[in-house]
Amino acid sequence: MNAMFRRERKVALLPRQGAYPGPGRGAQAVEAVLAGAVASAFAVIRTPGHHAECARAMGFCFYNNVAVAALAARRAGARPLVLDWDVHHGNGIQDILWEEDIAYVSLHRRAQKSA
């Protein structure tokens, strides 16, 4: 294996380590608000993960932080609404929340046809 490949492989593994705490922190923020411990919360998590599905990472998204937070809210008795406003559809959120009692709205641009 050449040095270039080893370097690329190592770089490809690093984002997973940085992304790992995200889902838990988002869920903790939701749970703290719902428990009344804080009035509001803002979780600084990168990325929202709207492409990550239950069975696989996709589109640079390792974990679906938004879906995990929404599921935490639902399990705590809240009725969350996920609004995904991006340039393309959040397939991972749809996949994870498809059979859950959680509202999901995806606003994304329409693909332009080439002339």
Residue 2's Cα: distance from chain center in Å? 34
The full set of domain ranges for the chain reads 3-107
Is 88 annotated as catalytic? no
Instruction: Spell out a b/e string for 62-76, using b for 16 or more CB atoms within 10 Å of the CB, else e.
Output: bbbbbbbbbbbbbee
Query: Rounded to two decimals, what is the model's pTM?
Result: 0.77
DSSP H helices in the chain: 3-19, 22-35, 65-75, 91-97
In this prediction, residue 50 carries a pLDDT of: 87
Please tell me the number of Cα atoms within 13 Å of 113 on its side-chain side: 1
Helix (H) or strand (E) holding 82: strand 81-85
* Catalytic, out of 50, 51, 89, 108: 51
Q: pLDDT digit of tens for each residue in the chain (115 aa)?
A: 444 444 444 444 555 666 667 788 889 999 999 999 999 998 888 777 888 888 888 888 888 999 999 999 999 999 999 999 988 888 999 999 999 999 999 998 877 777 6
